[in-house]
C-alpha cells in the first residue's frame, strides 16, 4: 500500500464514532500503535507498561515498516506454531516498537461473558471504565451475528448490519437513522426463568405481536425455548450475564411471572421496586406475594391476560 500510515481493522468490530485522530496521532518513534489486550491490562482501563496489544485494531507506520522490510520476517515467523497466531507474532516481533492507545479505540466487549462468568473483577472494571467507545470489538468465539449471543452490544452490531450501503456512501446527504434499526414494540415484557416450562407462553406470544417477550436464564435453555425466536417479537437470552439482566430490568415495562418451579427473588424484588406490573396464572403464581401490582389469572384465562396487557399498552 502506498500510504505512509495504515489503519488495520478486524472484521468482527464496528466503528461507532469519528476516528480521525488515529490518522494524526504521532508515532513518537514507534512503528505500531494498538490497544492493550483485555486479558493483559489493568482495571483502570490503561494498558500496563509491558502488556500485549490486541491485534484487532492497529495503526501502522507503513513507511517505517517498508524501510525495514518486515514482511519476510513476519511470514517466516508465521510458519511456526503460535498459540495466539498473528497477535503473538506481532507482539513478539515488534516488542518495544509498539505504542499504546486508549481502550476506547478497541473496546473488547466480546470478553464480557468470560469476565462475568469467571467473576474477573479486573476485567469487569476495565469493561465498565470505557464510557465512550469509538471502536467496539466482539473478540473471542461468540459473535453478535450468532443465533444466541451471550455478550453485550449485540443491538449495536445489528444496527450497522441493517444499514443500506447506498445510505452509507451518500456522504454529503442528510441521513435519517431513525428510519432504520430494530423493530419498535409497544411494550417490553420480561420473563426470567430457571425452567423451560412457561405457562401459556406461546399463546401469549401469538396473541400479542406488539409486545416484545424477553426470556432470560442464567443457564443454557432447552431447544423448545430457542425455537420461539422464530417469532419476531421474541428474544431469548441463554446463560445471561448479570450486566445484561440489569439492562433488561431497566427497559422492562411488564413482568410475566409465568415460569414453573424456581423464581429469582432478586429480579422480582427489583421489578417490584420499580413499580412494574406483574401478571401470572394460578399454577405459576406466587400466591403469598404482597405486591399490590401483582395480578393472577385463571389457568385458562389467556384471553383475559391478553386484554389486560393491551390495556397496559394503551396507557400514557
How crowded is residue 316: how many other Cβ atoms within 10 Å of its Cβ? 2
**pLDDT on residue 48:** 44
Closest of 105, 104, 103 to residue 51, by C-alpha: 103
Q: Tell me the three cell numbers of residue 309.
A: 396487557
Closest of 253, 278, 282 to residue 265, by C-alpha: 278
Judge residue 255's burial from the number of C-beta atoms within 10 Å of its C-beta, 0-12 exposed, 13-18 middle, 19 or more buried.
Answer: buried
**pLDDT on residue 315:** 53
**pLDDT on residue 177:** 59
**pLDDT on residue 316:** 45
| Contact indicator for 91, 56 with CB cutoff of 8 Å | no
**pLDDT on residue 314:** 60
pLDDT tens digit string along 26-36?
Answer: 999 999 999 99
**DSSP calls for 184-212:** P-SEEEEEE-SSS-BTTHHHHHHH-TTEE
Low-confidence ranges of the chain (pLDDT < 50): 44-48, 316
* Whole-structure pTM value: 0.66
CA 9 vs. chain centroid, Å, equals: 19
| Contact indicator for 43, 125 with CB cutoff of 8 Å | yes
How crowded is residue 166: how many other Cβ atoms within 10 Å of its Cβ? 7
Round to whole Å and give the CA distance between 239 and 148.
10
Round to whole Å and give the CA distance between 262 and 104.
40
Q: Is 219 helix (H, G, I), strand (E, B) or coil?
A: coil
Amino acid at each position: 500500500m502506498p500510504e505512509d500510515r495504515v489503519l488495520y481493522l478486524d472484521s468482527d468490530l464496528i466503528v461507532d464514532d469519528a476516528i480521525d485522530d488515529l490518522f494524526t496521532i504521532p508515532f513518537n518513534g514507534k512503528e505500531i500503535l494498538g490497544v492493550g489486550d483485555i486479558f493483559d491490562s489493568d482495571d483502570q482501563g490503561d494498558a500496563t507498561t509491558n502488556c500485549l496489544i490486541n491485534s484487532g485494531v492497529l495503526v501502522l507506520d507503513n513507511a517505517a515498516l517498508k524501510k525495514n522490510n518486515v514482511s519476510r520476517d513476519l511470514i517466516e515467523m508465521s510458519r511456526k506454531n503460535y498459540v495466539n497466531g498473528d497477535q503473538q507474532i506481532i507482539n513478539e516481533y515488534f516488542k518495544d516498537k509498539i505504542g499504546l492507545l486508549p481502550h476506547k479505540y478497541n473496546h473488547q466487549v466480546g470478553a464480557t461473558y468470560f469476565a462475568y462468568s469467571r467473576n474477573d473483577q479486573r476485567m469487569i472494571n476495565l469493561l465498565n471504565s470505557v464510557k465512550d467507545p469509538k471502536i467496539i470489538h466482539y473478540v473471542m468465539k461468540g459473535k453478535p451475528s450468532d443465533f444466541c449471543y451471550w455478550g453485550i452490544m449485540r443491538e449495536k452490531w445489528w444496527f450497522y448490519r441493517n444499514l443500506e450501503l447506498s445510505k452509507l456512501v451518500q456522504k454529503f446527504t442528510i441521513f435519517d437513522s431513525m428510519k432504520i434499526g430494530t423493530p419498535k414494540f409497544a411494550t417490553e415484557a420480561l420473563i426470567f426463568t430457571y425452567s423451560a416450562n412457561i405457562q401459556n407462553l406461546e399463546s401469549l406470544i401469538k396473541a400479542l405481536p406488539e409486545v416484545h417477550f424477553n426470556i432470560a436464564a442464567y443457564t443454557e435453555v432447552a431447544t423448545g425455548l430457542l425455537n420461539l425466536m422464530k417469532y419476531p417479537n421474541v428474544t431469548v437470552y441463554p446463560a445471561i450475564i448479570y450486566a445484561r439482566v440489569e439492562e433488561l430490568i431497566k427497559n422492562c415495562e411488564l413482568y410475566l411471572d409465568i415460569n414453573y418451579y424456581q423464581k429469582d427473588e432478586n429480579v422480582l424484588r427489583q421489578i417490584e421496586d420499580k413499580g412494574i406490573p406483574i401478571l401470572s396464572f394460578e399454577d405459576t403464581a406466587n400466591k403469598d406475594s404482597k405486591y399490590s401490582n401483582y395480578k393472577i389469572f385463571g389457568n385458562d384465562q389467556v384471553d383475559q391476560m391478553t386484554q389486560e396487557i393491551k390495556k397496559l399498552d394503551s396507557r400514557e
